[in-house]
Structure 1
């Protein structure tokens, strides 16, 4: 591998040379020219490498472990270790069912049948569809189409069929509902046969008006001649010789007991011969087929009773099939040998679900609790009672705040919006600020879905700096339903508004966000906040002080605002003080003032502001003693009067309050502003108290009314002094406790303004539609009020023509309008009758002599409800085979005028979802339709899918190890076989020192001792974490070889890896390098024959050579050794 040494023997034959020859080991020694020789080698240039050898192993990685999906016996193992399996190959049989290799995403884990739903159904349908088997729509639902495709697949793989079932029946009965009546023929029965019988003619539909009794399976019938035996009255679980005779006639094992199987065959025999089944007793039944409840909590009841006396107790469970719509009580009914024939009541109560889901239907299921009941009743089938739940939920939405405050520097406030009922589709709320120059909103829309409808969404309101000294401004943020993007049920909802106050920052000022608080002598506290209106040049100090610290204190004493935090509200806390005096509720003023000496001069002129504090008394007066009474404190008496008795909309009025005697301390008087006026619509909101400053006997309250364009009557604005109660009130109410001002509308003419209302929302066809004309003032002379009639009603068919006008007589302010209705026998939709007031044709609008004016509401509508409903009956039924579709037909004696939802129930020995496809329980009879078919598709339930029928993997794949043998019994989850990669993976096992020298992408030489094989390769993977075993750490990796290696799993390999390389390196033999006091040196032969000891820097080491990084040059000679012999 290395180059040959170039040896140079230097002979010391020249005397002068001997003089300069000085061996390294002894500086004073000289060379014996007769005997000493030096062995040297030239300094050369070559490439050095560092190589390590790492151990490894050949493996096939496991791709998948196949476990048993069910318990069972293994047979017909058709694969061996090392086999390659293709999709569609049979691997083995489990419980006699073949396990077929299929491609998919996950292993099957459950039995699938009609009615199953989920991703495993979707995978099964995908596999069948891609295999050419028709399954209908590929989705998550196992339908009869799915079963048909599965049946064809199983036939191709020679699956056996399931055991055939006995014949079964399903009975359809009509339930009560709005918009129709139920006739006498309200049931129809369809028989589902497992195998064709001797007579496949359709059976006559069974109809009855009685409550349905429990239905049972039928059996294959033997010839019958003894009609008397068949019609005999047998008791449930009767044991007698005549039962044994009946069983022999029916071809049953004659055990003499009239149980479920005997009763089933008996019932079928009577039905097949057209004989009445009424004589055959039923195990238990219900008094009605259906009930109706409401989400408002209304309840309905039905009764349950046994059909025969039991030997021991029989317990029936009553269960709600949809507890989210209705509840059932009691949960169980117990019948004994003594009370078996006594009806027991079951109560069904509607449940409010807050969903806009309309009318819902479901069932109450009555079942025998086998473990707690007479064994003779264990075979009885369930009885169902249909339940219709009417919806009471109303669309709506709410906002969390009525008002908010922001500043022009951009401070924010938030409120939330949320729906009050779950919508069927999305609801989009629009959020807008009408005055974006004062306030903006963070989101223009809020979208609520059926999933997040009850989660409040937040709107952020931000103040806008308008650079105008306009003072604090009020505006409203409006939240409205966006009709085009929303559930129609929410379209009619009115807007919601949040009043926003924007605090001005262009002029010096400060704002109190609360001006009245309440505390108690028990130490309870309240807070208010202070904020500046604009940024100051220097600090602003706001001083807080209480006018009566014996009643209330405020902290802190000062609030300091800087140029950086001026817009952040600061909180002051007011606390009550216990004074041990029975003094009743006291009023205290908290003064908020700018501290001129410590504040920006621009804020010095600002007037003080006051926060009124109500202090609740917690002291109780002690019982009086016999001593002389002291002087009684004089309590001020408060009266009020208004500055005017009548004002117009838009004017201000001042209410003046007078205190006698003049209060010595600050006095807060509670007032109420109300009457016929409405805050924010008719007047601007004011405080609910006034303050008498100490020593002042007069206080004022100014109310500003609002001008609008609505035509309104005069309204009273009342201001009332609130009466206080207790032993020591802080004031008394004087003789003038209330002042009233009449607010007139300048837009109202000097004429009676008429409005119209309907007296009722609806009326029947045989009644009268009545309306009332009203005016706000009594008329001073008779007024003829004219009106017209319209709507969807027809004159002379639906109503009789009324007079042209009615007379509002002198001294009255209302008069009625009466429209007579006409009844008919037609089924028709509800109609609408509308009355509209019109101007007096003798006094047309625009003339000064018109008799009356029309107000906002001049039309009113009454719904005319049709008294006639279509009557529904059922017909049809018959016999069908499994997999076929039959039907029953709903027949209406008259076509409904509107689309009508018809409720029906299904019961019988056939099980919904197992023997026939699930029915909705409702059917839509469209307007004008007189017949409606309910299809019933029987299920061919002999074909099912077991999870072990298909083995899902990424086929084709190699079988690694088969762990089971034929005839072996395995449990669910046991290992059956595994699948491995078809090709070997070369694994690296490196020590920590080796791992430090390895990296992905390094080239290696793979050596396999077996067969003396060798292949180049590349490292493709390396672990960064070590595994520990046997006390040592090992790092694993993967090498990809370029040539195939023939071996078995686990074969040992070694890999040579070049981990370092120095190209064109200056090298010397390692023997030439000596250690001199820790330094590396070489002995260089100079051209003049002298030997020079020279320091060097060494680099990479490769076998016998070492890299010289500095100290010598190529071509020079270095001494390897000196031979003195």
Structure 2
């Protein structure tokens, strides 16, 4: 069977014949894999042996791009099925792909300049990956580095490549493709390209396109505004261009029916499609510092309502009239976008759906339609008027028909006598609306009133309607249809008996929302109290999740009553799902149930949340030997009604032993700084999988690390445990504290000591070099500096007469000096030196004292108590006179 990474699949386990006794089937083989099973043990009996049992296999996400194959072994025990086995091979279809990823695949450089890009791997490789960069040989490009290496432990880190372009003497740019070829692991033969474009800097003049102002980039189809553009050459005009620089003016548009006149140099060219003025080029002329020539775009009007046309104008080299030497088109500034605003209005139509009169409490449908579909960014506001003799906004309600898409449609000021319909964005064209007649309990005389619905009057302002506050932005505005612009409907008084309906079909609330009110209404006021009954359904349970009365009463001479639903809040995480209370009106005495809104659904969202968090053990030292077990705490803030599966993955500066320790093996010592404690299922190299059962706050299994003690000096080290949910978590369950870090304090130290050379005779003349030895008790984990001082105050020898401190380079110094202890060494070598001068004077034996200073030593390095200073004796070899 196959299962996608991050997904799950099911298979069934069944028996071919009845067993003699109850027995279990144990499923194994998925430890240390990305698979988790819904059940690892299946129970069969003589009573249920015919029923297949389902097993859900879930595959977690990983970083690599390899498909994994896992064999699940099913072993039976008991009765006539004892020792019977069967296997299921599961192939995990990986959704990652081994590929090279670049921060940019196109790079632009100017001669003499450089640029950078980053290269990384898309997935964790199975082995170290080496990427060779080629393709630049023989070009002016220099690439550094040309080899990239990605070890598996930090495969995700991007590496920076610097590309530099050398200078050349020609006037041509270059385009070079850098090919990246990978080798190693599952990245063998993977390739990726980065294209480098080198812009030549030897041009003496560049041609570009400009406009006098932004107004020249927006023109009107009726010709009241034209575009004034110029082609110009800057900064200097090369020799040999006294006849001007010939260029072509080219156009392109997403529309095929645009049209305008191109006017330049006394010529007029009519263009009705994309193309260039090839036969008669525009010539750029002027002084030697900057040349320019203007041209105009004069739109050709039509009578078609259409979106504004966007035309790209570009200056290019004319193939029939080559550019003079030393002139180049500046491709970064040789085009401009010009908008041609349409001047034809969009026609708006109004049409009723259906016919005949309606009663109070009923509704009439109608549509407001545009003459064309809007495109992205367009807005048309259509004003409406709803009137009639004695008709006021309280007599009606304007809403969108819930059974229609109404793409891009919104109602504005819908409770006033002059509402508006806004059409906005791509696809907006038709509004399907309902005008609902309110029940007013007023005797209308003849029993009827007439609603007049019409489009707003046409006007002279830019948007086409009288109201200047409208936000219509299409060229030409919008105008009402000449005939399809109004309708009327007769509304008769409510019938007897009155009709009962809900004022709203639905509402929503949070579980903690308290009491919710639902209003029921009669189409006319009764002369006596009317009790309205209803049934209660839905997924919420009355008495447990909410409280409600069995009926409500409309008081005489009123039309409304309220049904109160008191929601009961609890702390249970109920899967975060939406549950409902459904009220359905039932026919009773003194009223009938309307078909308008006989049902109300209250959606109740559970707002309880359970957060899964992890806490680290208290920081502690590593110790000098043995092991200590340190446990992390994982738990939910509230119990879930479903199992919660998760994994804990370890990382940090401490080194990990990937063989996992069992809590029962107290004497097992890790081969590195620590190893994970396995009281759960292995989940990849650095991870442990566990599960919190439904109704529980934590797993009954521990999770932690086993820390090894040693006497080696190291830095303080961290172990970070990261928490992730496995598969799709139950609704309402999320991650709280995702990471917890435990610090392993370094409690070892190294001792630093100094040792003097053996004493020797001073001699009668000249000098001799003497070396002091500075030593560590063990190799240094990293380089550090220390200070020594020649202590003239406690020495009997005289500085600069009997001896002199010198550096390794021979430089003399007085007093104190800093030296470096290299990494992994126990001695700094012959760094601490002095010159001993010979003389022919009897002085007796003299001493030189050299001391180490504790100031500035790194943590973990201390001075040896008995060897923090050293004394060298200069033995006098002159006779006593």
> Which of the pair is proportionally richer in strand?
2
Shared topology, TM-score over 0.5? no
> Which of the pair is proportionally richer in helix?
1
Rg larger in 1 or in 2?
1
Query: With CA pairs under 8 Å and 6+ residues apart, which has the higher RCO, 1 or 2?
Result: 1
